[in-house]
Each structure stands twice: as C-alpha cells, then as structure tokens.
A = this chain, B = another copy of it.
Amino acid sequence: MLTERQLLILKVTVDDYIQSAQPVGSNQLSKKSEIPFSPATIRNEMADLEGLGFLEKTHTSSGRVPSEKGYRYYVDHMLTPRPLPKEDIVQLRSIFDDKIAETEEVIKRSAMILSELTNYTAILLGPDVRKHTVKKLSIVPLTMDTAVAIIVTDNGHVENRVFTIPQGLDPSDIEKMVNILNERLVGVSLNDLHRRLEQETLTIFKQHVNRYGELFSTFRKAVILPHEDNVYYGGKLNILNQPDFHDLHKIRNLMDVMEESKHIPMILPVGSQGLHIRIGSENALSAMEDCSVITVSYDIGEEQTGSIAIVGPKRMDYKRVVTLLDTLSGDLSKELTRMIRGK
C-alpha cells in the first residue's frame, strides 16, 4: 500500500513526464509548488516507488520514467475527472453544427475532430452494418449483360454492386425477382439477409422466374456482404508527430497494423461496453506494445453500438483523452439516437 506522499510523487511524476517526455528528476520535482519536500526525500520515495515497480530508470543516473505498472496505477486511481475546457466543448459540438443527416458523415467528422483535439490517431467504428435492415432493394440494368444491385438500409446507407446478368435472361424476370425480393425481404437485417434469401425466396423463384438458379446465385453473390467495414480514421499521420516514436521501422509496422482491417477487432473490442484503457503490452498486437489505446463505446438507439479508439504513445494525456471520449461518446449516442428516432 502506498503512502500519501508516494501517491503524490507518483502522480506528479507521471503528469510531468506526460507533459515533457523527459525523465523526471528529484530536483525538478522539488521545485514544483505542490511538492513541499526536499530533493533527498523525493529521491528516497522514488527509490521505493522504483522498488515497487511503479517507476523505472532509463540508466543508472537518469531521472525516473513511469513503468507500465505506474501508468496502470495512475489511470486506475488518479484520474480525477476534470471538466472539459470550453474551447474543446465548442469544437466537439461543431461536429453536429451543420445538421448532417447521415450517421456515417457524423462519425467521419468525429474521427477528424477527435484527432485534431488530441493530436493522436482516432479510429471510429460505426454501428454494425449487418444489423441494419433492408429498406429497399432494386436492380438497375446498365448494359446488355450487366446490372447493379442496390440495397438501401434503414439508416440511409446504400450498398451497391455490379454483377453480370446470366446470358439470355428475360428482363421481365429481373423485374419479377426484384418485386418478390422487396415483398419478402424489406425489414430483414443484412445479417439475416443471406439466410432469408434462401429460405423464403428460393421456392418462390422456382415458381415464378425462369432460369431462377443462375439469377439467384448471381444475385446472392452480389449481395453477400458490404464492400468495406465502416471504420473511419482521423489523424493517421499524427503518429509521426510523437517524439516517442522515432524508429521508422516500428512506425511503419504500427501504421500497417492500424490500416489492416483484420486487426481492427483487436484494437476496438466490439462487444465491450464503457471505457477501457490498454497500456503498452496490454495490447493484443505486438506492433502496439509502445502504444496506449483508449476505447469507448457509444449507442444508437437500443440496438446498435459503435466504438471509438484513440491510439497514442504510452505517455498519452490520459486525463484529457478520457474526458474527451466520455463527452463525445455521450454526445454521439444522444445525437445519433435522435437522428434515427425520426422513424
């Protein structure tokens, strides 16, 4: 158990290091107004803190730097929430300024502004596309043998894919098919679409549409899943600004990992609620062992959720980022829910 004084010194050390990126020495600390002890006393305490694993030295006679355990203790016990500065609130609010009607657009803007406010990289995950339900299906013929399949979802998202029409197929068949699809599939979630497509429509097609097989399988392929995940980035290049990152090779790895969509679930754990902080090696990806990641979820209505991540150095301004994310997640939940409530 740490003494009152050790707590104070740990806190101030972490704060100072976060701010300066330089190892913190006893002399330096003793000059601060909130520290009324002499350098020698501080040295003793710091030695203890090092013994307990909260601080580290970069070399024998350097100042101290927080260890991962130190950061962990800091974020677990010392994050007294401050109110967000006025100018930050103004900036955050500006996301909703011009009343945009699209969820995606709002999220995209959030990513940008969040990265500007923090100088770190922001990754936002929109609500799971597959939870959206079909509002309308249509097929628009383009050429003799191609057409584009369009799915409009309840949130205004539009998926489309061009596909090849099986040779010699009657245009009226296509029309029939679209009608059947709309009768049967409006309101179905994209997630279930695939299954329902087979269950409900296959038999009907057989009755009504000639050469149903080819058309069906072609269409199914076209509809299977969205082209891209709905991941939005802000400030991808902010990593290059951090003095903590100088090794080009590591930077390249990190940036690679972040863009690779298959790693996204490792960075933004989709299911989890609330705010989470992962420090250094607590991250699942080894490329991120020098990073800290703060994630938070937000809700749209009762069903849909999205998440936000901020990726920065371990020496991240936790206090500020946590407050920002708390506020933003609340705002996003509120505004986005309001947007879909128009139903």
Interface residues on A, range: 35 or more
B136 near A156: Cβ-Cβ < 8 Å: no
Closest residue on chain B to residue A150 by CB atoms: B158
CB distance from A28 to the nearest CB of B (A): 27
- From B161, B252, B256, B343, A144 is in contact (CB under 8 Å) with B343
- From B145, B148, B156, A156 is in contact (CB under 8 Å) with B148
A146 proximal to B (CB < 8 A): yes
Give the CA-CA distance A343 to B158 in the complex, in Å.
24
A164 proximal to B (CB < 8 A): yes
Give the CA-CA distance A248 to B144 in the complex, in Å.
52
Closest residue on chain B to residue A243 by CB atoms: B248
Closest residue on chain B to residue A161 by CB atoms: B102
Q: How many copies does the complex hold?
A: 2
Please encode chain A, from 14 to 34, with 1 for each CB lying within 8 Å of some chain B CB and 0 for all others: 000000000000000000000
B152 near A102: Cβ-Cβ < 8 Å: no
Give the CA-CA distance A172 to B2 in the complex, in Å.
72
B155 near A142: Cβ-Cβ < 8 Å: yes
Please encode chain A, from 80 to 108, with 1 for each CB lying within 8 Å of some chain B CB and 0 for all others: 00000000000000000001011000000
Chain B residues near A163: list those with CB within 8 A: 101
- From B99, B156, B162, B240, A252 is in contact (CB under 8 Å) with B240
A3 proximal to B (CB < 8 A): no
A342 proximal to B (CB < 8 A): yes
Give the CA-CA distance A255 to B259 in the complex, in Å.
15
Chain B residues near A255: list those with CB within 8 A: 237, 240
A191 proximal to B (CB < 8 A): no
Chain B residues near A285: list those with CB within 8 A: none
A156 near B152: Cβ-Cβ < 8 Å: no
A135 near B140: Cβ-Cβ < 8 Å: yes
Chain B residues near A148: list those with CB within 8 A: 152, 156, 158
B240 near A248: Cβ-Cβ < 8 Å: yes
**Which residues does A use to contact B, with CB under 8 Å?**
99, 101-102, 135-136, 138, 140, 142-146, 148, 150, 152, 154-156, 158, 160-164, 237, 240-241, 246, 248, 251-252, 255-256, 259, 340, 342-343
